[in-house]
Amino acid sequence: MTGSILFEAIVFLLGAIICVSIAKRLGLSSVLGYLLAGVLIGPYVLGFIGNEGDDILHFAEFGVVMMLFLIGLEIEPKNFWKMRKTIVGMGGLQVAATMLLSYFLFILFGFDKTVALTLAMATALSSTAIALQTIKEKGLLNTNFGQSSFSILLFQDIIVIFMLGALPLLANTDEPAIEHGNEHANLLQNLPLGLQTLAILVSVVVIVVAGKYLIVPMLRKVAKTGVRELLIAAALLIVFGISFLMELVGLSPALGAFLGGVVLSNSEFKHELESTLEPFKNLLLGLFFMAVGASINFIVIANSPLTVGGILLAVIVLKALVLFITGSVFKLKLNQKLLLTFGLAQIGEFAFVLLSFAFQLNILEQDQMDMMLVVTALTMTFTPIIGMVNERLLLPRLGTKESIKRPMDHIAKSQKVILVGFGHFGSTVGRFLRTHGVEATILDHDSNRVDFLRKMGFEVYYGDATRTDLLESAGIAEANILICAMDNPDVIKQLAKTVKDKYPQVKIMVRAKNRYVAYEFLNMEIDHIYRESLETSLKLASEVLSQMGFRKYTLQRQAQNFIKYDEDSLRRLAKEGQIGDDNYIFKARKELEQQEKLLEQDFKRGIVEFDSHWDSEQIRVALENPDT
Amino acid sequence: MKNILVLFSHPKFEKSRANAILVDKIKDKEGVTFHDLYERYPDFNIDVEAEKALMSAHDIIIFHHPFYWYSCPPLMKQWIDVVLEFGWAYGPNGTALQSKKCLNVITTGGSRELYCSQGSNSYSVTEFLRPFEQTANLCGMQYLPPFAVMGTHKIEIEELHTYAEQYDSLLDVLQQNLKRTDVRGFSFINDIPQLQTTDKI
């Protein structure tokens, strides 16, 4: 039934859509949904996907690469540097302890020393894809647990390079090592170790330098063309390019992508890259999880259910134990420790690479590899389930929930403001906010301006704010206030509508070019409307009247009064005053009618006498006619 | 229970120490409407009708403000100018405020001793507050002696908290209908027996 690419695509997509939406409805993580979809469409249940699952797995690993790139984007270099101790400390402890314990475990299961060591290496690695996807889905990346998990996973990404390097040393030298074909050949394999290390360092430097002096200028050029798909192409090019370079020198592409992300995290394209790559990443990761599910070999399980079950249980318990101890050593709180313990207690996707490489080197036999692959896939499947048990049954009993503390004494930091449009209007808004220490997240679609403003030290991002995904990466979900200061009222309308529908908690404050735009906003039930011409024109008019001899303070009071009166009439006329999108002549005529109505109203109102308490006329009149 | 309206005016409230503590104590009290004038009318454009409605809905009016140059901050004076309208608060048919009670709650930098003929301020607080007293009289309101927190330049935080407690008790007493005879002979309402606890300020 297989064969056609279209058919396979349909199977995968349908599987994903059905299983993930069921999983989500049941309140489970999407990872579990994907994995189950994979099992379902795999060779042992419905049989839609045969053995090509492995190839798909390799292809889909690219999702992991993209994920690390995106995570890199969120970590600024200086923060990364701060994490170095946690990465080496926690990661080192976890990998060393897990390897040691699982080595003895596998000896206990009757494997010989070399095999046990290889399997121990595989066991030490956790699944970046599953763990981080789950963490991000729950929005926990910035918690202690999230940071710890991330540190450990990153360390594993680094250490796996050395593991792959060490495997050939374990190989039985009597047999030719390349019997199964070596797909991990890279440029540097035959170089001495010192040169290899040098090449690795050079490639890291290349990424850092290229990020600053090649990629960012390229993105600026691309942005200037205004063709959106070019930016998508550029984003993909960056990730592919880095991965290629990394594979060339034998480094993990994921690690390289992460570095690339960190380098670009300071650039104005951060949000744009995030929102562009996010859908690709999600789909590829989904595909990856499905491929893992499809690769579970149920025949192996059926043949030796006890061994598989035994190893599976032992591995999870052992990994969990080490993680719990690691968490204790680094003084995590109990609930954070438990999340870490159950979050990373699986064998990860690197095990697939490591095991098949060991198989090529004749370290492992076919049945040993199959067994271990099954265990790996099963641990990955069980993690989301265990995590759910932890969250639903264990954590509620143990109580403490990490509350994110906000410095409430500092007004400027307590509220998140997003300012869209940094032209003449928006820039004044932004400048005044900034003088009060309020750093709004600024979005603007003019890349020249973005570039210039960044030089001036503003935090400005480039992008089309009407796109929900960009807004999301700018943090609209946590924002308190959205300021729409763009020039084009239609764009503001579109943005305001999107945000009003999807994020009703955000207070929307809009710039209104004129009265008619204000009517439309009012009818959209947006209350905070700022007409750009109202106060300025009254100021001018007051100035004129003052030159003609009116007293300035009286004019000031009259202008205040006039604003109040005009706002009232604006709200009153909003319904009938709508101009609509009809043709220009009709529109112009309708505007004239409106104008006329206003003037008529003003005329009826005349010069309003108020503030009579400051003159004695009223009292004089009253004294003269005591009867009234 | 009587309704109390606290008309508070302070042009730089965020920097104030004494008033922050006093206001914090009473602003959410039941039966008390705390009305922050500088926050409501930053442009001095007072909504007269709204203010009149607010006055009508309360039995006791408190002018709470720092004592700047022996008087209130300018917005409060503006408020008095525009809200206490002829024909409403005073003059023919100006009976809207009849028999309401009113008083000043003030904070002064100088201590009580400085406000006398021998002190550097030459006159007593009561004398400086005559315009408020007479305004109240003209509007038919009963004017009570002021509640004053004095010497704020040197006062300790703990003492300010004691004052805040006392302010709070004062509002309780006012809500229970304080009689005019209860305050007779006192220059400061701080000193009436109802507000004296064992640990005297």
The answer on A172 and A263 residing in a single domain is yes
Residue A627 is predicted with a pLDDT of 64
Name the percent of chain A lying above pLDDT 70: 87
Contact predicate A97/A111, CB 8 Å? no
DSSP A511: E
Confidence band, pLDDT 50/70/90 cuts, at residue A248: confident
Mean residue pLDDT of chain B comes to 92
Pull the structure tokens for residue A79. 């923060």
Domain assignment present for residue B103? The answer is: yes
Domain assignment present for residue A152? The answer is: yes
Helices and strands per DSSP (H, E), number in chain A: 30, 6
Using CB atoms, which residue from A611, A618, A626 is nearest to B82?
Answer: A611
Give the rounded distance of the alpha carbon of A263 from its chain centre. 16
Name the percent of chain A lying above pLDDT 90: 13
The answer on A100 and A31 residing in a single domain is yes
Pull the structure tokens for residue A387. 């995590």
Domain assignment present for residue A560? The answer is: no
Examine the pLDDT at A462 and tell me if it is beyond 60. Answer: yes
Query: B interface mutation test: which of A558, A566, A613 has the most B CBs within 10 A?
Result: A613
Strands A441-444 and B60-66 come out as unpaired
Helix (H) or strand (E) segment spanning residue A508? strand A507-512
A107-117 pLDDT per residue, tens: 988 888 888 99
Closest CA to A388 of A148, A35, A93, A115: A35
Max CA separation in chain B (angstroms): 49
* A485 vs A464: CA distance, rounded Å: 13
Residue ending a domain, among A532, A547, A575, is A532
The answer on A377 and A451 residing in a single domain is no
Pull the structure tokens for residue A299. 């025949």
Under 8 Å CB-to-CB from A560, ≥6 apart: which residues? B43, B45
* A316 vs A307: CA distance, rounded Å: 14
Examine the pLDDT at B188 and tell me if it is beyond 60. Answer: yes
CATH number reported for the structural domain that contains residue A284 in this entry: 1.20.1530.20
The top-scoring range by mean pLDDT among A164-178, A450-464, B16-30 is B16-30
In degrees rounded to 5, what are phi and psi of residue A29? Answer: -75, 155
Domain assignment present for residue B200? The answer is: no
Examine the pLDDT at A183 and tell me if it is beyond 70. Answer: no
Residue B145 CB neighbours (<10 A): 21
Domain assignment present for residue A16? The answer is: yes
Amino acid in the structure at residue A85: K
DSSP A394: I
Number of structural domains found in chain A: 2
CATH number reported for the structural domain that contains residue B153 in this entry: 3.40.50.360
Confidence band, pLDDT 50/70/90 cuts, at residue A578: low
How close does chain B come to A619, measured CA to CA in Å? 7
In degrees rounded to 5, what are phi and psi of residue A178? Answer: -105, 25
Residue A398 is predicted with a pLDDT of 65
The answer on A203 and A146 residing in a single domain is yes
The answer on A84 and A134 residing in a single domain is yes
Domain assignment present for residue B162? The answer is: yes
Contact predicate A332/A145, CB 8 Å? yes
Handedness of CA A420, A423, A425, A431 (dihedral sign): positive
Examine the pLDDT at A199 and tell me if it is beyond 70. Answer: yes
* A546 vs A182: CA distance, rounded Å: 89
Residue A179 is predicted with a pLDDT of 41
Query: Please, what is the end-to-end C-alpha distance for chain B in angstroms?
Result: 28
Mean pLDDT of A361-384: 84
User: Which chain B residues contact residue A564 at CB under 8 A?
Assistant: 45
Structural domain including B39 reads: 4-195
Mean pLDDT of A273-288: 82
Confidence band, pLDDT 50/70/90 cuts, at residue B169: very high
Mean residue pLDDT of chain A comes to 80
CB pairs under 8 A between A and B: 23
Query: Is B45 in Cβ contact with A560 (below 8 Å)?
Result: yes
How close does chain B come to A409, measured CA to CA in Å? 12
**Burial environment of residue A410 by CB neighbours within 10 A (0 to 12, 13 to 18, 19 or more):** exposed
User: Which chain A residues contact residue B92 at CB under 8 A?
Assistant: 622, 626, 628
Q: Helix, strand, or coil here: B47?
A: coil
Structural domain including A237 reads: 5-183+195-397
B105-124 pLDDT per residue, tens: 999 999 999 999 999 999 99
Using CB atoms, which residue from A564, A613, A626 is nearest to B85?
Answer: A613
Residue B87 CB neighbours (<10 A): 14
Residue B54 is predicted with a pLDDT of 96
The answer on A230 and A84 residing in a single domain is yes
Examine the pLDDT at B170 and tell me if it is beyond 70. Answer: yes
Residue ending a domain, among A476, A501, A532, is A532
Confidence band, pLDDT 50/70/90 cuts, at residue A412: very low
Residue A176 is predicted with a pLDDT of 44
Domain assignment present for residue B158? The answer is: yes
Contact predicate B152/B108, CB 8 Å? yes
HSE value, Cβ hemisphere, 13 Å, CA-based, for A326? 31
Confidence band, pLDDT 50/70/90 cuts, at residue B199: low
Mean pLDDT of A415-439: 87
How close does chain A come to B133, measured CA to CA in Å? 19
A122-173 pLDDT per residue, tens: 999 998 888 887 887 776 776 778 888 988 988 887 788 778 778 877 776 5
A90-129 pLDDT per residue, tens: 999 999 999 999 999 889 888 888 889 999 999 999 988 8
CATH number reported for the structural domain that contains residue A510 in this entry: 3.40.50.720
* A351 vs A362: CA distance, rounded Å: 16
Mean pLDDT of A607-619: 74
Examine the pLDDT at A181 and tell me if it is beyond 70. Answer: no
User: Which chain B residues contact residue A619 at CB under 8 A?
Assistant: 86, 91
In degrees rounded to 5, what are phi and psi of residue B144? Answer: -100, 160
Contact predicate B18/B149, CB 8 Å? yes
Residue A406 is predicted with a pLDDT of 31
A469-512 pLDDT per residue, tens: 778 878 888 889 999 999 888 889 989 998 998 899 999 999 99
Closest CA to A312 of A227, A215, A377: A377
**ipTM for the predicted complex:** 0.73
- Taking CA atoms, B48 is separated from A131, A277, B88, B131, in Å, by 62, 57, 12, 21
The answer on A123 and A208 residing in a single domain is yes
Domain assignment present for residue A556? The answer is: no
Domain assignment present for residue B90? The answer is: yes
Residue ending a domain, among A500, A532, A564, is A532
Mean pLDDT of A615-620: 75
The beta strands (E) that lie in A407-446 are given as 417-420, 441-444
The answer on A93 and A169 residing in a single domain is yes
Query: Is A613 in Cβ contact with B81 (below 8 Å)?
Result: yes
The answer on A470 and A360 residing in a single domain is no
* B197 vs B170: CA distance, rounded Å: 12
Closest CA to A511 of A500, A501, A526, A498: A526
Q: Using N-to-C axis directions, what is the helix angle for A84-108 and A144-170, rounded to 10°?
A: 50
Domain assignment present for residue A595? The answer is: no
Residue A251 is predicted with a pLDDT of 74
Examine the pLDDT at A580 and tell me if it is beyond 70. Answer: no
* A110 vs B5: CA distance, rounded Å: 85
Query: Is A618 in Cβ contact with B87 (below 8 Å)?
Result: yes
B128-168 pLDDT per residue, tens: 999 999 999 999 999 999 999 999 988 999 999 999 999 99
Query: Please, what is the end-to-end C-alpha distance for chain A in angstroms?
Result: 101
Chain A residues whose C-beta is within 8 A of a chain B C-beta are 557, 560-561, 564, 611-614, 618-619, 622, 626, 628
Domain assignment present for residue A581? The answer is: no
A29-70 pLDDT per residue, tens: 777 788 888 888 888 778 777 666 667 777 777 777 887 888
DSSP A50: -
The answer on A472 and A360 residing in a single domain is no
The answer on A139 and A282 residing in a single domain is yes
Query: Is B45 in Cβ contact with A557 (below 8 Å)?
Result: yes
The answer on A322 and A237 residing in a single domain is yes
* A267 vs A269: CA distance, rounded Å: 5
Residue A192 is predicted with a pLDDT of 64
Domain assignment present for residue B50? The answer is: yes
Amino acid in the structure at residue A147: Q
Domain assignment present for residue B135? The answer is: yes
- State which residue of chain A sits closest to B43, comparing Cα positions: A560
Domain assignment present for residue A127? The answer is: yes
Number of structural domains found in chain B: 1
Query: Is A557 in Cβ contact with B87 (below 8 Å)?
Result: no
Pull the structure tokens for residue B29. 């009290």
Helix (H) or strand (E) segment spanning residue B147? strand B147-150
Provide DSSP, B67-118: -BTTB--HHHHHHHHHHS-BTTTBSTT--TTTT-EEEEEEEESS-GGGSSTT
- State which residue of chain B sits closest to A558, comparing Cα positions: B45
How close does chain B come to A503, measured CA to CA in Å? 28
Domain assignment present for residue B201? The answer is: no
* B120 vs B110: CA distance, rounded Å: 9
Phi-psi region of A424 (alpha: psi -120 to 50; beta: other; left: phi over 0): alpha
